Structure 1
Amino acid sequence: MSVPSKVSVLIAGGGPVGLTLSALLSGYGVDHLLVEARPKTSRHPKARGLSARSMEIFRRMGLEAAVREAGLPASQVFFYRGRDLVDPDFVRTEPAHGSPDSGEEHTPSPGLICSQDVLEPILLRRAEDLAGSRIRFGTRLVSLDDDGRGVEAVVEDTATGTRHPVRADWAIGCDGAASTVRAGAGIAMEGPTGLGRYLSVRFEAPLGDVVADRASASYFLTVPGRGGFMAVDNDRHWIYQYPLDPQTDQPQGLSGHGHLAGLIRTAAGIPDLDVTVRDTMTWRMDARLAAAYRSSRVLLAGDAAHAIPPTGGHGMNTGIGDADNLAWKLAAVVAGYAADALLDSYEAERRPVARRVLGISTDNARNRAGYRIDDELLLTADYRSTAVVPPTGTAGHEALDPTGCHPGCAPGRRAPHVGLVGGPPGVTSTLDLIGPGFTLLTRTDSPAWRQQADIVRGTGIPVVVRPLDTGTQREAVPGQWARHCGGAESDDAVLVRPDGHVAWCASGSSRTALAEVLHRVLSTV
């Protein structure tokens, strides 16, 4: 298969972030090429937790059912803490879902455990179904030169050594913490390195019966035990993250099967456990943030933009959110109905989120025995940029709210989930009404709003009106939408961007401002 010499977007990196970005761009009709140096997807579990926000994104992509089927059952999504797996004084908790006071459900798509080695093939199949041979594993990015009008890249087939020049309008670095794209763009990383070093061991052992009364997705092993972290994929397949002592432990000295099996037996608390080691890898815990997310025609996403400690499970999920934010903006610029200044809002929105996540995850790393697993943290992302018509009174704004999810329709925030009944198949939430372009959510059908949307759509900007109440479709809990939107009147509307974040809250009297607002959001005025 030949490598295209010209594409709109070049994506470097075929992990969860790059593959998600590819599938989203295909959904928006953007021509692109993805290159990944590895010949196949990951065989090591690596990241494991998918947050509610990531699952909402996969829901919009039509992948939620496949990911949920591949993940661990909901009955197992607990978090265990004890000195070993047989500690009689263990503590078992679950992540927070919804408001403990009201019992209100904040999302139709709660998070789950689906490890990276299981998730990547699902994303790869979707990316290949949509983009075909434009998804090139076994192909590495060799060099990248940004001339201000586009990028000149060279990619290499890792099996044959054959090199190919590629001209792209935009290049996106999804190529990890050691990003070639970031280095080529001259973007620095800021923050500490070496917060910890770990030996990750993938192994098989008959532990299903051992943990039957305490089954969990993750096992945090506490002092006075050996420490570290164990995680399960099924009854026999496990992973152990062994904390390396920088003064005494050297990975090469721990490589023997017998020694590794001994580490696992001690950590499990079972001296005669039957252990088969499958493979190992070492990794370092850093907490770093790129100084910029964009340099001319080059942008960064995922680990290339932020190296987040895994303590809390937000690293991969933050990257998936990057892809969702960036994809529609790239699509709008490539299609020509947005100015490329729209892409500056990507950094303005996503970098503060990553900075806040880094702080939370670093604090967790210092308090490994007691930090909270927060499935809904990323639902609280609140943006301030040119791609949002700002609300009044934004002093003290925070990119994330670690106190919990408090749904609302304010510009910058994720549009709230409200359950729907009686609608078309698959429509059970307001979130199902959003996309792929801009969406005006209204309580009831509004011919006046539809007329304005038709006018704007005639200029090339994709926007549709979706009423919550169509006569057959209605709110499962009457009045919930109005409560979230501050008592919205029947002719008010909420303009939602393709990524599900509110761009503008409009009263019925402001319909004629729709075109002006959209041009403002798209940086064309």
Structure 2
Amino acid sequence: MQPQVVTPGAKAHFKHIPVLIVGAGVAGLTASIMLSRMGVDHILLERRRAVHGLPKAHIVSAKTMEIFRQLGLDEEFYRRGGPIERFSRFNWMTSLAGPTPLHGREIGHVDAWGGGEDVTRYANATPCEYTNLTQIQVEPLLNEEAKRCAPGRIQYGQELLKLKQDDSGVTARVRNVENGVEWEVRSEFVLGTDGGRSVGREVGVGWVGQQELGQALIIHFSAQLHPWIKDPRQAITIFLSPDNIGHGLWSGALVKMGPTRWGTDSEEWVCHIGMPETGIPQDEAVVVDMLRTTIGIPDLEPVIHSVGGWSIGGVVAEKLHIGRILLLGDSAHRHPPAGGLGLNTAVADAQNATWKVAQITKGNATLELLHSYEEERLPIARTVVQQALTCLGRQTEEVAAVLRGFERGQAGWNALDRFFADSPEGEQLRTEMAQMFRKTNFGTRMLGVELGQQYVGGGIVSDGSRPKPNPDPIIEYVPEARPGHRVPHAWIYRGSQRKSTIDLAVIDRFVLVTQPTARREWLEAIAAAAGEVGTPIDLVTIGENGDYEDSMNNWAALNGLSEGGAVLIRPDSFVGWRTVALPKNPGQELTQVLTTILGKARALTHA
């Protein structure tokens, strides 16, 4: 049933819509685009009247770019964002400048986000690179695409007042913030992507974790800083000054924001500073003075764009699945910016949730499939929040430990003087600092966290294998085509055209990958399964005389298959099932696997 069109000034009322999304942040807008791609009608409501906000999130990970690649948005992100060679260094300094030889000095740095020494390691793991694009640029880009895909369905200035859920759907009470008109919408499913402001509260979901460790001020400004920043790779700088110690010993952080130049001549920047006891300053002169003090440039003349605050803490929602309601993004997990995990985890939440909701609305799956959203994403939420909190603490603690005696006042300057001194002690301290930076994870080299996520639960059918050993699951990624893992990246070829196995995943269907010699058996199996499950299933063969050639044996080295074996790729690019060899009855086996993943087997069991 098509929803009634909203008439400005009239009592707006949608009779029915399959999916209601509440909140037009990154998770909500991504979910909208994905549902549109899958042909699922929906509306997205946002209490704000327009796209705006503070530029907090900005690192877009390689995994997120794989998801945007599936949506055909990757080229636009790369066009607008900063290239990896312009944000591949994360460094620590006393300041950018200042009155003494100890000011404007670099303490140390690490390679970041697949740059520097990590280029080859990341290139072997994924077809995508990171990009640097601030949230105030990401959201308009996604908003533009969401509106193009679903005209009239992206509605700003609409505030959720009440949710009432029953066995057949959810009724939402909404208010137009401009004219006060209240209206209702009935939907089959609700995706809560509003940062926990309304949906989670309405269904009684609380938070677990450290709600607030402190407060930080965030200043978005324009200034020409290239006279003081010499390295174009410099993306984030943590300042450590004994005269200006805030939360966790740090004095502040400077972040490059582009938006059109991404070297030392970046037009815009963000500075994070400890929140004053009096709260967010209302006087711009006070803000400018704080900025000058933190950066160390007393005559800086910045143009201030916005000033706000954020809470330093890390929490996870108690539940992510409540009946027909799913919580995504900041409604499911909130964490400090260390590691850049917030925006990226939100996009992955949207990918996981939407293909499942789409399969249910199309009649291919049962409500049981929704259980797998929480089974898969809640452990990930806990992991990334803990990782962000760990990285936040280490960002200054490890540095201060090497400096030995870094604290407020003259004692701190004495420690820095010993560190930078042209002496045996200074040389030893600098060597120790460089070694510490190489071995400590500061949240900038987390390939294992990003690509090594492992799902278990009803949305995965195990093949009985055990994961390969990984000595450092935070930093290192071990590729494998085991059920519950993201399908490993390998370059395959069709003539002169190169394609990644990541690209085999299709947003609205399953893909079965096998060898050309088993094509007939698996086509027959797909035909047999289609009568039971309904969902589309594509067959792709890789090997000699197949759909794609594996001329370098890249795929063969990773898939763990013998003759006739197959890997089933879910719409979100995760392996749902693998059979090492051709089963005795492929049709029966594939049917059982798909009914299990789609919740039909469990629904029959519970009946």
Shorter-chain TM-score range: over 0.9
Instruction: Write out aligned runs for 1:466-477 (5 A).
Output: 466-469=540-543, 471=545, 474=548
Secondary structure of 2:596 counterpart: helix
1:249-289 deviation per Cα after TM superposition (whole angstroms, max 9, x unaligned)? 2224x332222111111222211112222221111122111
Describe the superposition over 1:60-115 as per-residue Cα deviations: whole angstroms up to 9, x where unpaired. Answer: 01000111111112211221221222423343332253996984610011222111
- In the TM superposition, residue 520 of structure 1 has moved relative to its aligned partner by 0.9
Q: How many residues align?
A: 517
Partner of 1:494: 567
Question: 2:554 is matched with which residue?
Answer: 480
Structure 2 matches for 1:129-278, cutoff 5 A? 129-177=148-196, 179-224=197-242, 226=244, 227-234=251-258, 235-244=266-275, 249-252=277-280, 254-278=281-305
Report the residue type matching 1:16 in the other structure: V
Describe the shift of the 1:476–1:41 C-alpha distance in structure 2 as closer, same or farther (beyond 3 A): farther
Query: 2:10 matched to which residue of 1?
Result: none
2:89 matched to 1:82?
no
Q: CA deviation at 1:462?
A: 1.2
Normalising by structure 1, what TM-score? 0.93
- State the match for 1:431 in structure 2: 502
Q: Give the equivalent residue in structure 1 for 2:348.
A: 321
- SS of alignment partner, residue 489 of structure 1: coil
Distance in 2 between residues matched to 1:451 and 1:495, nearest whole Å: 15
1:194, distance to aligned residue in structure 2 (A)? 1.3
Instruction: Give structure 2 stretches of 5+ with no counterpart.
Output: 7-12, 98-103, 245-250, 259-265, 399-441, 602-607
Is 2:70 the counterpart of 1:52?
Answer: no
* Greater C-alpha radius of gyration: 2
* Contact 1:423/1:473, CA 8 A, preserved across alignment: no
Counterpart contact for 1:452–1:514, Cα < 8 Å: yes
In the alignment, does 2:592 pair up with 1:516? yes
Query: Residue deviations 1:206-250, cap 9 Å, x none?
Result: 1134213354222222243631211122222111111126xxx22
C-alpha contact (below 8 Å) 1:225/1:267 kept by paired residues: no
Question: Once structures 1 and 2 are overlaid, which stretch shifts more, 27-36 or 444-453?
Answer: 444-453
With structure 2 as the length reference, what TM-score do the two structures score? Answer: 0.81
Conserved in 2, the CA contact under 8 Å of 1:220 and 1:229?
Answer: yes
Unaligned residue ranges in structure 1 (runs of 5+): none
Q: 1:506 aligns with which of 562, 579, 599?
A: 579
Partner of 1:356: 383
1:174 Cα shift? 0.4
Does the 8 Å contact 2:316/2:333 carry over to 1?
yes
Following TM superposition, by how much is the alpha carbon of 1:451 offset from its aligned partner in structure 2, in angstroms? Answer: 2.3
Q: Aligned partner of 1:251: which letter?
A: G
Q: Distance in 2 between matches of 1:509 and 1:229?
A: 56
Contact 2:446/2:476 (8 A) holds in 1: no
Alignment of 1:34-45 (within 5 A): 34-45=44-55
- Paired residues of 1:419 and 1:475 also in contact (CA < 8 A): no
Matched letter for residue 499 of structure 1: D
Aligned CA distance change for structure 1 residues 53 and 46 (closer, same or farther; 3 Å): same
What is the CA distance between 1:134 and its match in structure 2? 1.0
Q: Report the Cα distance in structure 1 between the residues aligned to 2:73 and 2:57, rounded to whole angstroms.
A: 18
Distance in 2 separating the partners of 1:75 and 1:132: 37
Asked if 2 retains the 8 angstrom alpha-carbon contact of 1:193 and 1:286, the reply is yes
State the identity as a percent: 29
Given that 1:83 and 1:225 are in contact with CA atoms closer than 8 Å, whether structure 2 keeps it comes out as no
Question: Aligned partner of 2:46: which letter?
Answer: E
Picking from 255, 279, 292, the partner of 2:306 is 279
Deviation sequence 1:110-138 (CA, Å, 0-9, x none): 22211111011111111111111111112
Tell me the secondary structure at the aligned position of residue 171 of structure 2: strand
**Aligned partner letter, 2:504:** L
Kindly provide the CA deviation profile for residues 308-360 of structure 1, in whole angstroms up to 9, marking residues without a partner as x.
Answer: 22111101111111111111110111111111011001000000011111111
Partner SS state of residue 217, structure 1: strand
Distance 1:325 1:404 in 2: 23
Q: 1:203 deviation in Å? A: 1.1
Q: Considering only aligned residues, what root-mean-square deviation do their CA atoms show, in Å?
A: 2.4
2:482 pairs with 399, 410, 418, which one?
410
| 1:52/1:375 contact within 8 Å kept | no
